[in-house]
Amino acid sequence: MSDTATALLDQARSWMDQDPDPRTRAELAALVDAAEAKDETALAELRSRFSGHLTFGTAGLRAEIGPGPARMNRVVVSHAAHGLGAFLLEKHSPTTPSVVVGFDARHNSDVFAKDTAHILRAMGLRVVLCERVTPTPVLAFAVRHLDVDAGVMVTASHNPPADNGYKVYLGGDDGGSQIVPPADSMIHRAIMASHDHSLASSLPRSDDYDTAGAELIEAYQRATLQLAQSFPVEGRATLSICYTPMHGVGGDVFHSLMSDAGFSSLHPVDEQFAPDPDFPTVSFPNPEEPGALDLAFSHASTVGADLIIAHDPDADRLAVALPSPEGSWQMLSGNELGAILASARAKDAVLKGETGVIGFSMVSSPIAQVIADHHGLTGQDTPTGFKWISRLPGLLFGYEEALGYLVNPETVRDKDGISAGLYLACLAAELHAQGNTLWDALEEVRREYGGFASDQISLRFDTMTIAQSVMGEVRAAPESVFSSLDIDSVDDLLTGGEGDVAVDLIVFRLAGGSRMIVRPSGTEPKLKVYLDTLRPEQSLAESDLEGLRISVRSAIDELLARVTDV
């Protein structure tokens, strides 16, 4: 056996010695035994798991559960908690910092949350651990509501069942938003120092922490219910809504909130209502993915629903589907739903004499800026991610096309599918009482502000390396890769972004006002291509989009063929 392989096996054995989880210890022991018997597959798997440490970035940690520093496990989480605690103690010295910890229903989420609470409390921090599974928006709310210095949410959102993750919010001057640079790199350095100087099994632990139960959920519901006061109550009792939490943790909270708001015709998709970490009825627990809403479509047709509301597993994203004239169900795109909500929120602000900001990510449709301008409000785009949108001063409404919406920024400083779902349902009920639907609201948006059309080409790869390679090809010769397009300008925001924020994103502005944006996913081995058109008439916008889609798809296929051959 080579010296490199021997060193790898020694590293794996050292990891086992500090792992408090018997399941991951056994999994790693089996791989070590197989590798010692010269099983090349086992050796390759060990290399993958020990190829480096998970990087704690602005999305926190997220990876497949399993042993090793490149996976999510109790060793990684223990050091993450220890590093976070060290960061907070230094940041808030000489006072005692405070943290609230929440978790969803994924595999090991409760274990990771308890490890975090135990370690932070033993370090002297004041800790509040949620007693039950908690939607991400409720944890984000808790940071502000409990006036703590930080929040930890154990979740992998809409990732595959085998994954889990760890995200951090900061209170105080950060207002309860997710971390942004330089806090992410500072926390990462503290985490790596914990790995270097301590063993997870030897870190002090204490169960002398506080807990939060039903009272936290009730406080969130009371604060969120105030959104319904801006709408008339007519139509709520008769509007028929099919609802699915996608096997996640939003079901009980949303159902109770909707009942309190007067929605009495709510039809849950029973097979998907209870939290289940295996997500057995969907191939991928993301309402954006093809087939994810098939059960909801079927159930909605059976009960004669007027619309479908869906959340992703941690309930921070909102999806909505409507019956089409042909009798099938059609999901609104993130930009279509965002435009409806932005228009409603802007009109409400004007009616109340409010001024402020309509915030949206760079990859969202430019219709958001048009809506803001039309109502004399400020439109502001940001890098992708609600960690940026939620920090905009004077924010009235924020959205990103990936089904993320924030309708009550004074209550929550992150995307919130639950509050957005209530707001959307109230708008739909008001329309319903008038004999109209959300299709009519979308048509009104296009009449008032102009036609817009959007599409996304999502390319999923086996590894991040392939996605980065494809992005590198585009970055090296953007006009050559997309030579069939009539390009006015190319802006690479990784090297030419505004301010101090570097963004891994390339913007193509095309003749006629169309736009294409290419960027890698920050959490998955994916590359995303965003296509947007904006024209006075919707038919023109759709025609432009169709031609753009064909040209871009052809160019991407040629690029993938070249990269695959290398």
The catalytic residues are 157
For 499, residues 6+ apart whose C-beta sits below 8 A from its C-beta are: none
CB contact at 8 A, 154 and 21: no
Beta strand residue intervals within 171-224, DSSP E = 177-178, 210-212
Cα 5 to chain centroid distance, Å, stands at: 38
d(CA 330, CA 524): 26
CB contact at 8 A, 443 and 332: no
Cα 421 to chain centroid distance, Å, stands at: 16
For 48, residues 6+ apart whose C-beta sits below 8 A from its C-beta are: 68, 70
Nearest-10 Cα torsion for 360, 364, 369, 372: -50
The two tokens of residue 408 are 């009550």
CB contact at 8 A, 99 and 139: no
Cα 36 to chain centroid distance, Å, stands at: 41
CB contact at 8 A, 466 and 525: yes
Half-sphere exposure of 133 (CA within 13 A, CB side): 21
Per DSSP, the three-state class of 99 is strand
d(CA 125, CA 114): 14
d(CA 213, CA 431): 36
d(CA 308, CA 299): 10
d(CA 57, CA 43): 28
Bridge-based pairing of strands 163-170 and 61-64 is antiparallel
The two tokens of residue 244 are 């699915």
CB contact at 8 A, 299 and 308: no
CB contact at 8 A, 128 and 210: yes
Per DSSP, the three-state class of 100 is strand
d(CA 116, CA 368): 39
For 443, residues 6+ apart whose C-beta sits below 8 A from its C-beta are: none
Q: Where do runs of H (alpha helix) occur along 40-135?
A: 40-49, 74-92, 109-122
d(CA 250, CA 112): 20
